[in-house]
Structure 1
Amino acid sequence: MADRAITVAAWESLFRAQVSIMRALAADFPSEVISLNEYDVLFNITRAPGRRLRLKDLNQNVLITQPSVSRLVDRLTARGLVAKLPDPRDGRGTIVAITDEGFDLFRRVAITHMDAINRQFGDSLSEEELRTLADLCNRLRPELDRA
């Protein structure tokens, strides 16, 4: 087991780096089009097979809390960016699917957002360092072990 002081120092460094990068990305984000939380929801849906995701699974992957996700999905539905469908495997469940309009908007915003990520994050590390960082962060995510 690692020394507790080293562990805490590493955590503090990781956390502060994440907060600093997220603040910079939020400042660069095209929020007049869509919020960062809305983007996160659309991002997760687009990564799912068939660009559809059970609401329950969406809740586990986004960066906001469950009640906020439900309200946000309702707002995205009202804007025509996603559709809520009954889950054919579970009558109580809901499937959230991105619409063509939602996917087009997501792609436009994603290009701008990826450029900002590259400026704020990618330009600071080599490709080898980025691969190492991704591997280390993935090891810290216990839900990846269940996938």
Structure 2
Amino acid sequence: MSQSNPATASRSFRVGVWRSFMEIHHAVLREIERELADRHRLSVSEFDALVNIPLDGARLKDLKERIVLTQSAVSRLCDRLAQRGLVTRTPIEEDGRGALIELTEEGRALLRAAVLTNAEVVERSFASRLSSDQLASLRGTLDALQTVDGVRECDTVV
């Protein structure tokens, strides 16, 4: 059994690691926000919604489970995306407040371009700064943390 390093076992060290993780996340997300807005007129929330709509569509209530917004915020977001012609919103007869959200062809085209932009920023601002071994180690570390309910792999392929 390996002995732990007292410096890394301290609470302040652990909180510092978490803080660094949050700062890096914030910096990369800020760059993603800027690029998505500049190139595609999309907010990160809009991108998140588009990327989480399956090809066969999703019920509004199911979409809410896939993105981190309240039910009413998801509904308003989908209304904005529909006004832009990126999704359709079809009422579901058996559910008075329910709706089926589907990507339009324009929405799919924009999503393909935005996914590439997202990948470029992640590569430039994050992944390219790490060696292959560091990325593999980080992947293993994050895998260990993915036992929390609701955390899932990104299923959008570039």
TM-score range normalised by the length of the shorter chain: 0.7 to 0.9
1:79 & 1:146 partners in 2: Cα distance? Answer: 29
**Residues 8/73 of structure 1: CA separation in 2 closer, same or farther (3 Å cut):** same
User: Do residues 91 (structure 1) and 104 (structure 2) align?
Assistant: no
Shift of 1:22: 1.1
Q: TM-score, normalised by structure 2?
A: 0.72
Distance in 2 (alpha carbons) for counterparts of 1:103 and 1:144: 25
**Matches for 1:33-112 after TM superposition, within 5 Å:** 33-35=40-42, 36-45=44-53, 48=54, 50-87=55-92, 91-92=95-96, 93-112=98-117
Report the secondary structure of 2:40's partner residue: coil
Instruction: State the aligned residue count.
Output: 142
Q: Distance in 1 between matches of 2:120 and 2:39?
A: 17
Taking the aligned partners of 1:56 and 1:129, their CA distance within structure 2 comes to 38
Unaligned residue ranges in structure 1 (runs of 5+): none
Match of 2:24 among 9, 17, 31: 17
Judge conservation of contact 2:59–2:101 (CA < 8 Å) in 1.
yes
Task: Determine whether 1:130 maps to 2:130.
Answer: no
Name which one, 1 or 2, has greater alpha-carbon Rg. 2
Give 1:103 shift.
0.2
- Normalised TM-score (structure 1): 0.77
Moved more, 22-31 or 36-45: 22-31
Q: Secondary structure at the match of 1:95?
A: strand
Identity of aligned residues (%): 32
Tell me the amino acid that sits aligned with residue 122 of structure 1. A
Supply the AA of the counterpart residue of 2:126: F
